């Protein structure tokens, strides 16, 4: 389904609807009420820090849209643009996630700014799409460890053999679509994962800067090298 054109983007509204046996839930995330169900990862309170950092960066990056990769329920990107609205392209492979992104954007009064794209993050962007700010929330749990988190959907946490398959894809997308003068904020599990991605980032014309550590994860800023 095609929706209105917003700042040059066509807003695609997913047609998938929540499964009848998936009970809708809601949680407070910063200043937003976020809807989700058990097909999505429950929003983590600590990740409001990623939204807050992204919102800070919006004060200094060039004019232009925001991209959120592996967006889940869309909560991190929506909270990031709430105080300073810009066009937001939210991408996720999970059809259920895309449905909730659209619902949550409408509930937040931000639906006119949001375009939802469903599919692989390296396939849903046009070659010339450029973004002033990119938020990336990839799964980062190694496949061998996902059994430790039985309540979380595999699609939302499985990062491959070393936990970094989707993080690598995010870095490649950031390298290809980040504006000059723009910035990205990437979520990872720990500083060792960030170190393991340093060479790939450099090969994509990016550098890691200003890591921020939390009890349950790490945030890293990426800039043009």
pLDDT tens for the 225 residues of the chain, in order: 333 223 333 344 444 444 446 788 999 999 999 999 999 989 999 999 999 999 999 999 999 999 999 999 999 999 999 999 999 999 999 999 999 999 999 999 999 999 999 999 999 999 999 999 999 999 877 888 788 877 877 877 777 788 889 999 999 999 999 999 999 999 999 999 999 999 999 999 999 988 999 988 999 999 986
Domain 45-224 in CATH 1.10.357.10:
no
Domain segments of the chain as ranges: 45-224
Placement of tokens 């919006």 in the chain:
58
Query: What span, in angstroms and rounded, lies between the C-alpha atoms of 152 and 40?
Result: 8
């Amino acid at each position: 389904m095609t929706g209105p054109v917003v700042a040059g983007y066509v807003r695609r509204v997913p047609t998938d609807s929540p499964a009848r046996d998936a009970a809708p839930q809601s949680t407070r995330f910063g200043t937003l009420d976020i809807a989700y169900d058990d097909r999505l990862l429950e929003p983590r309170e600590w990740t409001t820090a990623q939204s807050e950092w992204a919102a800070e960066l919006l004060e200094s990056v060039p004019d232009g849209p925001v991209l959120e990769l592996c967006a889940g329920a869309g909560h991190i990107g929506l909270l990031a643009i709430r105080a300073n609205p810009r066009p937001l392209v939210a991408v996720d492979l999970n059809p259920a996630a895309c449905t909730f992104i659209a619902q949550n954007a409408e509930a937040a009064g931000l639906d006119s700014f949001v375009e939802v794209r469903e599919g692989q993050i390296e396939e849903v962007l046009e070659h010339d799409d450029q973004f002033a700010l990119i938020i990336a929330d990839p799964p980062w749990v190694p496949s061998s460890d996902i059994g430790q988190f039985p309540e979380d959907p595999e699609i939302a946490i499985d990062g491959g053999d070393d936990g970094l398959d989707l993080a690598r894809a995010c870095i490649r997308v950031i390298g290809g679509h980040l504006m000059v003068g723009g910035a990205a904020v990437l979520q990872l599990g720990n500083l060792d994962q960030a170190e393991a991605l340093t060479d790939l980032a450099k090969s994509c014309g990016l550098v890691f800067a200003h890591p921020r550590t939390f009890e349950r994860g790490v945030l890293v800023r990426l800039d043009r090298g």
